[in-house]
């Protein structure tokens, strides 16, 4: 991350698909021109050796052909190039080229032509050494303090230091504990070689020690250059830096003391001559190469460090002085004097970009991509805005998204329930203890007029009913095609369902021009299941606990006509009595009065009456409809069986209380369990383990308790579900009786149903009791209220589980009373729904059962907060301030 980029002075690209690494770049006045001008020498792994003398007329110029002084292809890969006084008898600079198995020293010379491009350069091989081992890198210097000449030390891949005294091979030494080669350098002040070993230590070996160690096994050495020595080399000093190093450099500038610089993989070290850390810096990037180049301020040394995020940082000791961007990741970096320009930064990338650059304040032009913005036409935008505002307003007014009209459905789903039960029952895993559980086949057909992508059919029946398969996934439907599936419905749970209905839903995507992914759409259809699925004819029983009587205004119909599936027409002796045996075991009897226009339904359980009553009413209505008799009506004149109903509520509520108890116990045990765990943990962590003191037994016991409690809670949950199903059946019955009793209209019945049967599921946190209680008390306060005083009562804002059901019972009784006294159910003034609205987000739900119109208190109109208040609440800006800056570090 930098503001600036390195300014290009001269750059070129070398070869094609050539590889370069650290040693491949060298900067020196290799042709001994004496002008003090450096040449750039580059060798590649492909064996090309090139020498450049860049002299652009102005910065950033094209490469001139005469800039390239020399280009030769050698037969072996060039691992490293160095320039030094390598030839005996002369102090002139020569070029040493390291190949895998050879070291060559060349003299570079130039013949001046009349014009600049007439200059000729050539190299001449002075001497070469063949190496017994694969070379890795080399260093040079006046080993042993010789004056006026440089000796070469080559490190091989297997850890041997081979020393050459110019034209002759001196000796070879193995480094102890060697695994992989590290960077190698020579420090002339201490006359020692410094390297970083595989043990992640900086190690320094005195040249003297290396040289003396030869004596011990000189005989071996003379025989074979390659054999290793038995004697260990004594290390001068060792510093454990704990990481591998990329490069190592020894510098001494006049003002500053001599230091060893080590560029590690994660840190940058500056060491004293004796191997102590002078300073170190933790790098927050991956460095690639470095060079300490000069000392600007006394006692400090400036270093260039390049990294793998294409940055070049200039440090003065540890302080970042400058950061600049490079166009590539350099593998080698040097500082050169070129064409009277001092301190040019020469960088080489591993694919052959060679650049001479200097620092400057050229901004690194980061062009933010353009945002896709259109030409603004204000009138059009205004019109569109108005249109959208209107749509939004409409949408906010009607809370529900209204279903589209049925006329032009793209996909139609139909369900057909077969009239007969399956010959062979398809029921699986049924918990019902009856001898045979019947099943009925439902055939579902999907017809599509358009292309429907990813159609997905879900079939859903209320538990305890179940289907053999509830999910179907089809391939994309072509226009005017159809799919048919068959499935069976059966009774799974061991209790009677509260309704005999099912629902199937197809979801699909309809692609449009703008949206090829498709707009998600659904189609649904309901189907009703036969009564025979859950009960079968049985002997009627005379006595029963619960009886209800339905009056009609038409003479009684023979059961043979309306219950043909339950009555055997051959034995028509008792056509006015019919017995139903539920699969779950209970019995219900239906009686038709011979004289009056009445029907009686009786059973031992209240909830069992419901399905039969419903069937009776439905079938009667159907029958009279067939006969074109429109004024048929049922009525109910008895008292609503509230007492029995309340018993069911109590049963359900008690189970809920049990569940609450189980939950508390469970959390108590869990806390205990964690406490024991914590104790155990401290015991185990201790260095001197204390006896466990039966903590393990306690842990085991608590664990068992937790499991047992969880099992019990699960069982209780199943019971709650069963109780709720019964309660739902009974509620349906009560609703029906009330509506027959008061002859309520269809929309009043809808309100009644919404009140008593909330769509929300019955859960521990938000159960049936409190939801219904809230709904009833709302009705009591609004349309059924007696005085305005009652209307003013505000409701508790949060629904929670009541302590007992007395309030609910009282309210239901009151509700029936008010209805009996002529109360009318209506919600005409407000549009909001009765349902508790589950707010998204956290786990608690916030009911919206209070309605806005109701809470206006006479006399208090000003509910607007003062303006100052408003500003206060707003001045809390921007949570996202915080979310800022995850960007990588510079």
Partner 1 sequence: MGLELEPLFQAWSCFRRRKFRQCSDLCAQLLEGPPGGQEADSEYSVFQAAWSLKTRALTEMVYVDEIDMDEEGIAEVILDENAIAQVARPGTSLKLPGTSQGGGPSPAVRPVTQSGRPITGFVRPSTQSGRPSTMEQAIKTPRTALTARPITSASGRYARLGTASMLTNPDGPFINLSRLNLSKYAQKPKLAKALFEYIFHHENDVKNALDLAALATEHAQFKDWWWKVQIGKCYYRLGLYREAEKQFKSALKQQDMVDTVLYLAKVYLRLDQPVTALNLFKQGLDRFPGEVTLICGIARIYEEMNNISSAAEYYKDVLKQDNTHVEAIACIGSNHFYSDQPEIALRFYRRLLQMGVYNCQLFNNLGLCCFYAQQYDMTLSSFERALFLAENEEETADVWYNLGHVAVGIGDLNLAYQCFKLTLVNNNDYAEAYNNLAVLEMRKGHIEQARALLQTASSLAPHMYEPHFNFAILSEKVGDLQRSYTAAQKSEEAFPGHVDTQQLIKQLKQHFAML
Residues 544-563 that bind partner 1 (CB under 8 A): none
Task: Give 386's DSSP letter.
Answer: H
Decide if residue 401 touches partner 1 (CB under 8 A): no
Shortest distance, position 681 Cβ to partner 1, whole Å: 6
Decide if residue 314 touches partner 1 (CB under 8 A): no
Decide if residue 828 touches partner 1 (CB under 8 A): no
User: What count of Cα atoms within 13 Å lies in the side-chain half-sphere of residue 237?
Assistant: 13
Nearer CB in complex with partner 1: 76/128: 76
Binding-site member from 113, 343, 363, 638 for partner 1 (CB under 8 A): 363
Decide if residue 100 touches partner 1 (CB under 8 A): yes
- Which stretch, 28-36, 319-327, 435-443, 576-584, contacts partner 1 (CB under 8 A)? 319-327
Query: From start to end of 14-79, where are the E strands?
Result: 25-28, 39-43, 48-52, 68-73
Nearer CB in complex with partner 1: 319/570: 319
How far from 717 is each of 192, 712, 765, 839, CA to CA, in Å?
Answer: 82, 9, 13, 25
Binding-site member from 142, 144, 177, 537 for partner 1 (CB under 8 A): 177
DSSP 711-763: HHHHHHHHHHHHHHHHHHHHHHHHHHHHHHHHT--HHHHHHHHHHHS-SS---
Which residue, among 786, 784, 772, 773, has the nearest Cα to 742 in the 3D structure?
Answer: 784
Residue 348 DSSP SS3: strand
Binding-site member from 340, 366, 405, 407 for partner 1 (CB under 8 A): 366
Strand partners, 533: none
Binding-site member from 216, 320, 391, 618 for partner 1 (CB under 8 A): 320
Shortest distance, position 874 Cβ to partner 1, whole Å: 5
Nearer CB in complex with partner 1: 165/317: 317
Letters for 678-717 (x = contact with partner 1 by CB under 8 A, - = none) are x--xx--x--------------------------------
Letters for 511-530 (x = contact with partner 1 by CB under 8 A, - = none) are --------------------
Nearer CB in complex with partner 1: 570/688: 688
Binding-site member from 151, 251, 331, 489 for partner 1 (CB under 8 A): 331
- Which stretch, 338-346, 404-412, 578-586, 846-854, contacts partner 1 (CB under 8 A)? 846-854
Decide if residue 540 touches partner 1 (CB under 8 A): no
DSSP 539-577: ---S--SEEEEEEESS----HHHH-TTTS-TT-GGGTTE
Nearer CB in complex with partner 1: 296/428: 296
Nearer CB in complex with partner 1: 89/841: 841
Binding-site member from 317, 362, 499, 753 for partner 1 (CB under 8 A): 317
Residue 355 DSSP SS3: strand
Shortest distance, position 32 Cβ to partner 1, whole Å: 30
As a whole number of angstroms, the distance between CA 271 and CA 276 comes to: 5
CB 845 within 8 A of CB 766: yes
Decide if residue 870 touches partner 1 (CB under 8 A): yes
Shortest distance, position 357 Cβ to partner 1, whole Å: 19
E strand or H helix that includes residue 819: helix 806-820
How far from 98 is each of 78, 129, 491, 645, CA to CA, in Å?
Answer: 6, 10, 87, 101
Binding-site member from 280, 460, 695, 712 for partner 1 (CB under 8 A): 280
Strand partners, 421: 440
Binding-site member from 60, 113, 242, 343 for partner 1 (CB under 8 A): 242
As a whole number of angstroms, the distance between CA 518 and CA 538 comes to: 54
Shortest distance, position 507 Cβ to partner 1, whole Å: 21
- Which stretch, 26-34, 56-64, 458-466, 869-877, contacts partner 1 (CB under 8 A)? 869-877
Query: From start to end of 686-797, where are the E strands?
Result: none
Which residue, among 877, 501, 870, 494, has the nearest Cα to 719 in the 3D structure?
Answer: 494
Site for partner 1 in 14-73 (CB under 8 A): 17, 19, 21-22, 45-47
Decide if residue 885 touches partner 1 (CB under 8 A): yes
Site for partner 1 in 105-164 (CB under 8 A): 134, 136, 157-159
Nearer CB in complex with partner 1: 29/350: 350
Shortest distance, position 319 Cβ to partner 1, whole Å: 5
Binding-site member from 627, 794, 806, 826 for partner 1 (CB under 8 A): 794
Residues whose CB falls within 8 Å of the CB of residue 807, separated by 6 or more in sequence, listed in order? 773
As a whole number of angstroms, the distance between CA 652 and CA 112 comes to: 110
As a whole number of angstroms, the distance between CA 189 and CA 273 comes to: 8
Nearer CB in complex with partner 1: 101/807: 101
Tokens of 560: 């043979």
Residue 289 DSSP SS3: strand
Shortest distance, position 90 Cβ to partner 1, whole Å: 31
- Which stretch, 32-40, 242-250, 555-563, 725-733, contacts partner 1 (CB under 8 A)? 242-250
Tokens 């040019």 correspond to 344
Decide if residue 873 touches partner 1 (CB under 8 A): yes
As a whole number of angstroms, the distance between CA 722 and CA 767 comes to: 14
Which residue, among 292, 303, 183, has the nearest Cα to 246 in the 3D structure?
Answer: 183
Nearer CB in complex with partner 1: 363/585: 363
Binding-site member from 797, 806, 829, 831 for partner 1 (CB under 8 A): 797
Shortest distance, position 363 Cβ to partner 1, whole Å: 7
Query: From start to end of 68-180, where are the E strands?
Result: 68-73, 80-84, 94-98, 102-111, 120-130, 135-141, 151-156, 160-165, 168-174
Shortest distance, position 528 Cβ to partner 1, whole Å: 37
Decide if residue 387 touches partner 1 (CB under 8 A): no
Decide if residue 798 touches partner 1 (CB under 8 A): yes
Shortest distance, position 7 Cβ to partner 1, whole Å: 17
Tokens 């209209």 correspond to 745
Decide if residue 217 touches partner 1 (CB under 8 A): no
Decide if residue 238 touches partner 1 (CB under 8 A): no
Nearer CB in complex with partner 1: 122/797: 797
Binding-site member from 526, 558, 639, 869 for partner 1 (CB under 8 A): 869
Task: Look at strands 319-325 and 4-5 and give their pairing.
Answer: parallel
Nearer CB in complex with partner 1: 366/822: 366
Shortest distance, position 518 Cβ to partner 1, whole Å: 20
Question: What is the SS3 assignment for 90-111?
Answer: CCCCEEEEECCCEEEEEEEEEE
Site for partner 1 in 464-483 (CB under 8 A): none
Letters for 635-674 (x = contact with partner 1 by CB under 8 A, - = none) are --------------------------------x--xx--x
Strand partners, 123: 108
Letters for 180-209 (x = contact with partner 1 by CB under 8 A, - = none) are xx---------------xxxx---------
Sign of the alpha-carbon dihedral angle for 839, 840, 845, 846: negative
**Number of residues assigned to the chain:** 890
* Cis bond before residue 734 (omega within 30° of 0): no
State the Rg of the chain over Cα: 47
Tokens 């895998």 correspond to 100
Decide if residue 850 touches partner 1 (CB under 8 A): yes
Task: Look at strands 267-271 and 259-264 and give their pairing.
Answer: antiparallel
Decide if residue 286 touches partner 1 (CB under 8 A): yes
Nearer CB in complex with partner 1: 791/844: 844
Decide if residue 224 touches partner 1 (CB under 8 A): no
CB 44 within 8 A of CB 22: no
How far from 90 is each of 119, 188, 378, CA to CA, in Å?
Answer: 24, 20, 84
């Amino acid at each position: 991350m930098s503001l600036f980029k390195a300014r290009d002075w001269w750059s070129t690209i070398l070869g094609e698909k050539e590889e370069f690494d650290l040693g491949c770049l060298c900067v020196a006045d290799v042709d001994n021109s004496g002008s003090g001008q450096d040449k750039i020498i580059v060798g590649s792994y492909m064996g090309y050796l090139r020498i450049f003398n860049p002299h652009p007329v102005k910065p950033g110029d094209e490469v001139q052909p005469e800039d390239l002084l020399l280009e030769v292809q050698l037969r072996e890969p060039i691992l490293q190039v160095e320039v030094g006084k390598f030839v005996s008898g002369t102090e002139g600079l020569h070029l040493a080229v390291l190949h895998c198995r050879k070291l060559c020293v060349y003299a570079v010379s130039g013949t001046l032509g009349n014009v600049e491009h007439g200059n000729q350069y050539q190299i001449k091989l002075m001497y070469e050494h063949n190496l017994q081992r694969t070379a890795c890198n080399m260093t040079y210097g006046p080993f042993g303090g010789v004056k006026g000449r440089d000796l070469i030390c080559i490190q091989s891949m297997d850890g041997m230091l081979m020393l050459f005294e110019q034209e002759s091979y001196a000796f070879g030494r193995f480094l102890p504990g060697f695994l992989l080669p590290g960077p190698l350098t020579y420090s002339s002040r201490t006359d020692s070689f410094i390297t970083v070993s595989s043990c992640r230590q900086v190690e320094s070996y005195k040249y003297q020690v290396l040289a003396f160690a030869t004596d011990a096994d000189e005989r071996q050495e003379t025989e074979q250059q390659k054999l290793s020595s038995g004697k260990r080399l004594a290390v001068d000093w060792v510093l454990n830096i704990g990481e591998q190093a990329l490069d190592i450099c020894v510098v001494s500038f006049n003002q500053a003391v001599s230091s060893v610089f080590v560029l590690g993989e994660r840190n940058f070290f500056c060491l004293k001559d004796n191997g102590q850390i002078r300073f170190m810096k933790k790098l927050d990037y991956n460095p690639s190469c470095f060079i300490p180049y000069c000392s600007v301020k006394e006692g400090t040394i400036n270093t260039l460090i390049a990294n793998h995020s294409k940055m070049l940082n200039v440090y003065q000791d540890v302080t970042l002085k400058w950061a600049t961007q490079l166009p590539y990741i350099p593998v080698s970096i040097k500082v050169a004097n070129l064409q009277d320009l001092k301190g040019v930064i020469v960088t080489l990338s591993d694919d052959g970009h060679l650049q001479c650059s200097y620092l400057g304040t050229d901004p690194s032009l980061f062009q933010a991509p353009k945002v896709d913005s259109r030409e603004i036409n204000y009138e059009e935008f205004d019109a569109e805005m108005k249109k959208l505002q209107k749509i939004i307003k409409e949408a906010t007014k009607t809370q529900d998204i209204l279903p589209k009209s049925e006329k032009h459905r793209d996909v139609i789903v139909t369900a057909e329930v077969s009239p007969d039960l399956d010959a062979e029952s398809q029921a699986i895993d049924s918990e019902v203890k009856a001898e045979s559980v019947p099943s009925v086949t439902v055939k579902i057909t999907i017809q599509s007029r358009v292309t429907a992508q990813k159609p997905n059919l879900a079939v859903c029946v209320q538990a305890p009913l179940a289907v053999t398969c509830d999910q179907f996934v089809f391939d994309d439907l072509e226009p005017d095609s159809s799919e048919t599936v068959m499935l069976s419905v059966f009774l799974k749970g061991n209790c009677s369902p509260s309704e005999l209905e099912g629902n199937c839903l197809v979801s699909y995507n309809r692609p449009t021009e703008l949206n090829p992914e498709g707009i998600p759409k659904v189609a649904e259809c309901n189907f009703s299941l036969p009564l025979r699925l859950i009960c079968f004819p049985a002997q009627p029983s005379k006595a029963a606990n619960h009886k209800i009587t339905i009056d009609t205004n038409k003479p009684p119909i023979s059961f043979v006509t309306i219950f043909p599936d339950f009555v055997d027409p051959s034995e028509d002796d008792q056509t006015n009595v019919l017995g139903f045996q539920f699969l779950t075991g209970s019995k219900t009897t239906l009686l038709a009065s011979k004289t009056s226009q009445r029907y009686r339904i009786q059973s031992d359980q209240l909830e069992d009456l419901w399905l039969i009553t419903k069937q009776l009413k439905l079938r009667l209505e159907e029958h009279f409809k067939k006969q074109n008799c429109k004024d048929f009506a049922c009525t109910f004149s008895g008292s609503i069986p509230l007492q029995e109903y309340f018993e069911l509520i109590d049963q359900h509520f008690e189970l809920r209380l049990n569940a609450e108890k189980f939950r508390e116990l469970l959390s108590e045990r869990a806390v205990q369990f964690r406490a024991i765990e914590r104790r155990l943990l401290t015991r185990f962590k201790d260095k001197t383990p204390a006896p466990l003191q039966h903590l393990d037994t306690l842990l085991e016991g608590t664990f068992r308790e937790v499991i047992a409690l969880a099992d019990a809670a699960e069982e209780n949950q199943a019971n709650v579900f069963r109780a709720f199903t019964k309660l739902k059946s009974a509620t349906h019955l009560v609703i029906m009786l009330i509506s027959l009793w008061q002859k309520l209209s269809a929309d009043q019945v809808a309100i009644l149903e919404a009140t008593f049967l909330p769509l929300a599921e019955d859960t521990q946190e938000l159960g049936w009791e409190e939801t219904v209680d809230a709904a009833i008390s709302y009705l009591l306060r609004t349309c059924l209220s007696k005085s305005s005083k009652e209307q003013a009562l505000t409701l508790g804002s949060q629904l929670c589980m009541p302590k007992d059901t007395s309030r609910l019972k009282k309210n239901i009784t009151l509700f029936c009373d008010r209805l009996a006294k002529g109360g009318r159910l209506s919600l005409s003034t407000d549009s909001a729904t009765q349902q508790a609205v589950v707010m998204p987000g956290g786990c608690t739900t916030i009911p919206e059962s209070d309605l806005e119109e109701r809470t206006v208190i006479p006399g208090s109109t000003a509910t607007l907060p003062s303006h100052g208040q408003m500003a206060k609440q707003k001045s809390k800006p921007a949570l996202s301030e915080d979310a800022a800056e995850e960007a990588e570090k510079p």
